[in-house]
Amino acid sequence: MVERFVVWRGEDPGRADTAAVTLAADRLSATGSSATGGYALGYVLTTGPGWVTERIRVHAAGAGWWRALDLSAREGEWTAAVTGEGGDHLGPGGVADPAALRGALDCDLALCPLTNTMPVRRHDLVGAARRDEEVTVDFRMAWISVPDLAVHLSRQRYTSLGPAAGGGAYVGYASGDFTAKLHLDAHGLVVDYPSLGRRVDTWAR
């Protein structure tokens, strides 16, 4: 079992992200936060075997409003409950089309460096990259936008690209027109995600 506390600094001004992560042989649990100039966010994430999302609870709050999302999945069926006060300017949260998410295995919290870890670990993309094997995997994700906490289907592609120093690896990410070259450590945790955030500290819990 691996336990880490990780801090990332966002590329947009004023954002900082943290995660306390427990990595077991085939699953993870994490508690994290994100602070920006406009809102603060916290989440609790648990997966089952195979790094498949079981539940994520997210709470976001800004001036005069707060919103909470409780999103869970069982055998590929996703359900959500949304509560809050104020925030009419954000639009509706939760899942607009549950059928679109059917069969998705992962949640993906926007701007969160931690949720890239599950698909990477499930398909051993760090190991493939370090063996110089090019492996490409396509995913359907339950993507959670912030701060409105609306859940959408997101189609994403990960590709192992090659080894990095310290036992890490580079993995390519693509979704629509957006692409990025992720630098991951040996555990599949983000070191650098261009345009999203760079790790500034980590230590064993």
- β-pair partners for 60: 41, 67
Average pLDDT over residues 122-138: 98
Q: For residue 88, is pLDDT > 90?
A: no
Residue 177 lies in domain: 2-204
Average pLDDT, the chain: 96
- β-pair partners for 59: 42, 68
Q: For residue 205, is pLDDT > 80?
A: no
CA distance 183 to 163: 9
CA distance 82 to 129: 39
Tokens representing 203 are 């230590």
Q: Domain count of the chain?
A: 1
Specify the pLDDT at position 203.
84
Confidence of residue 14 (pLDDT cuts 50, 70, 90): confident
CA distance 48 to 57: 15
CA distance 82 to 143: 15
CA distance 101 to 143: 9
Specify the pLDDT at position 11.
82
Model confidence, pTM = 0.96
CA distance 152 to 108: 10
Per-residue pLDDT tens for 29-86?
999 999 998 999 999 999 999 999 999 999 999 999 999 999 999 988 999 999 999 9
**Closest listed residue to residue 129, CA positions, set 173, 77, 167, 74:** 167
